[in-house]
Structure 1
Amino acid sequence: MAVDKEVQLHAQAWDHALSYIKPTALDAAVELEIPDILEDHGGPMSLSELSAATGCPREPLYRLMRFLIFHGIFTKSDDCYAQSPLSRLFTRENLGLYMLMQATPATRSPAGLSGEALKTGTPLYLKSIRGEDSWNDPAYGFHMRAFTNAMTAHSRLTAAAIVTNYPTAFDGVRSVVDVGGRHGMAIGRLVEAFPWVRGITFDLPEIVADAPPLKGVDFVGGDMFKSVPKADAVMLMWILHDWSDDKCIEILKKCKEAIPTSTGKVMIVDAIINEEGEGDEFSGARLSLDMIMMATTTQGKERSYKEWVHLLNKAGFSKHSVKNIKTIEFVIDAYP
């Protein structure tokens, strides 16, 4: 038994040493649009068909698919490849665009989590571009396009989770401001599901200037550190994890000023890290997101429940509630 245990530990060590390969291989599959191609085809495809559709030669494609099938991403039967319930989640309508964003140098630097980076507080990737975050990268344009596409797709998924798992989210709410809402994909989905709500997307002027019209949604340009448009509710979807505690408190105070004292609320849609040993299916993914924040920013982080409570108290909120919407984020409703 001792030998078996030693072999098992050795195998685990190899798995950890090579753990970066799986996401890299999955990135390649998403970049080749394999999940989308199989989905659009509507059924299994042979290696030759998949090679023609992707433009990828047969041998490397075969090796890639062999690896991903072993790890349960795709399925294979009668020498044909097919979607699995898991691979469908990597189409571009789901997490595919997010995968592509995470594959950019700004978010997957090999040195991002080096010992030196952890000691100095500056990821080596950011040090190399002399910036505090990845937006200072000379390749900013490419990263920004990937980021925008990924956040658009992800915001739709999160909005859908709110609609399905928090149907009372906007009871008594007639207007809501989506702070940092870019082109309004999240608020547009929410207004569609809750038609009595007037939506306002609030972002930098240069961002909202390019936004296409959306039914039930107004676009307002400005600076969240100066003021936030008035509304019954203010939503911060994946905004605060980019900022330090002090900056978060500033933002939350501005949001609090924008809502009615007696009936308003601020909706924080963000991850909550579990530190008590109990969690759900997304606990590991949330911890991985925190590693990404540590590797790509000097201020951002995912927060535990205690850390969120600290921010809310410092910003002057009197009470709050937490709703599990059965995805990687929670909804924290904060009340004045």
Structure 2
Amino acid sequence: MGDTEDGAEVEIWNYVFGYSKIAVVKCAIELGVADVIENHGSPMPLPELAAALRCEPSRLHRIMRFLVHFHVFKQEPIGQHSVGFSLTPFSRRLIKHGEKTMVPLILLNSSPILLGAWHSLSARVLEGGNISPFEAANGMDMWSYAEANPCHSKLFNDAMASRARLTIPAIIEACRQVFDGVESLVDVGGGNGTALSLIVKAFPGIRGINLDLPHVVATAPTFDRIENVGGDMFMSVPNADALLLMWVLQDWDDEECIKILKKCREAIPEDKGKVIIVEAVVEEDDKEDELETVRLMLDMVMMTHTNKGRQRTLKELSFVLQQSGFSRFNAKSIHTVESVIEAYP
């Protein structure tokens, strides 16, 4: 679009005020707009919506006009003389307790703690930029900050749980054979155990171990057939038939990934063990995949929020797997941002 003068004129204004989209969506979440419309069950006129939300009608009208323009909500006729607001597939993801909610992810990534880091991105890119933008903005790396700030830690873990509720069903639908023959499974860096709970529910023969830092598992809920274990994946990983590494390798550089993967290799049987890796795999020449834009944005997120993290290409993942002693692997797309990689000793 920016290849012509007219296109550039529009595109540059989208960048100038690009933050307005996430700010207004966050406002809608905090007001509970999607929840009220969902509970209403039919297109909701502005006066009723304003009364239910206890909002000033003219300001709410401007908020809703903006969100309808960007297809977050839609307007539908009510009778001959009125219109009401209703949900779209987008706004269904704004229902706080909805099956496909992405509310925790939006609230995390629009929080002042994470947004502040983006202002230091250029300093990170310059030579000598030895700390992450997150650390520059907040005085400590993201893991230390989460440990010292329980509210932020909960927000982070809730966000990862909401992402897991979208990704795990996609894995099970696209390649459930990944879990064939698995009787014990460790989720390495499994947060509050949501991902593992979805897996053991779908596969009753699996016993799960949720491994994460002690302060994380200390607040993790209890699930049937899942043991929460506090530990450090750089030091040791519990033994199991298979290990799950979901959104873990993206946080670390190659050397640190190799350390993690070597510990994982030690924890699985030589004959039938495997490590199941769930990561966004960047394919630089894939211009047709609309999700590639998201993967590239995630790579910028890793540069901003972690010290050495990155989204890798399949070739780059192959390198760290080979250096860790894995003999072979296979990769499969699951029609989400992520791919599933099975790595074998």
Q: Which residue of 2 aligns with 1:156?
A: 165
Q: Which residue of 1 aligns with 2:292?
A: 283
Q: Which residue of 2 aligns with 1:74?
A: 73
Partner Cα distance (2:145, 2:214) in 1: 20
- Is the Cα–Cα contact under 8 Å of residues 106 and 134 in structure 1 kept in the other structure? no
Matched, 1:106 2:105: no
**Deviation at 1:89?**
2.4
Matched, 1:267 2:271: no
- Is the Cα–Cα contact under 8 Å of residues 134 and 306 in structure 2 kept in the other structure? no
Deviations 1:159-197 (A, max 9, x none): 111121112111111111111112211111111111111
**Deviation at 1:137?**
7.7
Q: Which residue of 1 aligns with 2:80?
A: none
Partner Cα distance (1:264, 1:75) in 2: 50
Q: Which residue of 2 aligns with 1:84?
A: 88
Deviations 1:46-103 (A, max 9, x none): 2222223333322222111111111111101233111012221232332111101111
Deviations 1:128-162 (A, max 9, x none): 43223374389833322211211122112211111
For 1:161-180, list aligned pairs within 5 A: 161-180=170-189
**Deviation at 1:108?**
1.6
Q: Which residue of 2 aligns with 1:203?
A: 212
| CA spacing shift, 1:48–1:17, aligned 2, 3 Å | same
Partner Cα distance (1:122, 1:56) in 2: 43
Q: Which residue identity is paired with 1:145?
A: K
> Which stretch shows the higher mean deviation, 50-59 or 196-205?
50-59
> Which stretch shows the higher mean deviation, 134-143 or 316-325?
134-143
For 1:173-192, list aligned pairs within 5 A: 173-192=182-201
Deviations 1:284-336 (A, max 9, x none): 11111122222222222211212111111111111001121111111111111
Partner Cα distance (1:301, 1:31) in 2: 31
| Number of positions where the alignment pairs a residue of Structure 1 with one of Structure 2 | 333
Q: Which residue of 2 aligns with 1:55?
A: 54
Partner Cα distance (2:161, 2:123) in 1: 34
**Deviation at 1:124?**
4.7
Matched, 1:233 2:232: no
Q: Which residue of 2 aligns with 1:11?
A: 10
Q: Which residue of 2 aligns with 1:223?
A: 232
What's the % identity of the aligned pairs? 40
- Is the Cα–Cα contact under 8 Å of residues 321 and 332 in structure 1 kept in the other structure? yes
Partner Cα distance (1:221, 1:114) in 2: 33
- Is the Cα–Cα contact under 8 Å of residues 192 and 217 in structure 2 kept in the other structure? yes
Q: Which residue identity is paired with 1:98?
A: L
| CA spacing shift, 1:91–1:280, aligned 2, 3 Å | farther
> Which stretch shows the higher mean deviation, 294-303 or 315-324?
294-303
**Deviation at 1:248?**
1.1
Q: Which residue identity is paired with 1:86?
A: F
Partner Cα distance (1:6, 1:249) in 2: 48
Partner Cα distance (1:111, 1:147) in 2: 17
| CA spacing shift, 1:233–1:173, aligned 2, 3 Å | same
> Which stretches in structure 1 are left out of the alignment for 5+ residues?
none
Q: Which residue of 2 aligns with 1:318?
A: 327
Query: Which structure 1 residue ranges, 4+ long, deviate > 6 Å from structure 2?
Result: none
3-state SS of 1:230 partner: coil
**Deviation at 1:264?**
0.7
TM (norm. structure 2) is: 0.89
Matched, 1:300 2:309: yes
Q: Which residue identity is paired with 1:68?
A: L
**Deviation at 1:20?**
2.2
**Deviation at 1:221?**
2.1
| CA spacing shift, 1:322–1:125, aligned 2, 3 Å | closer
Partner Cα distance (2:151, 2:261) in 1: 31
Q: Which residue identity is paired with 1:229?
A: P
Partner Cα distance (1:74, 1:296) in 2: 31
> Which stretch shows the higher mean deviation, 252-261 or 193-202?
193-202
TM (norm. structure 1) is: 0.91
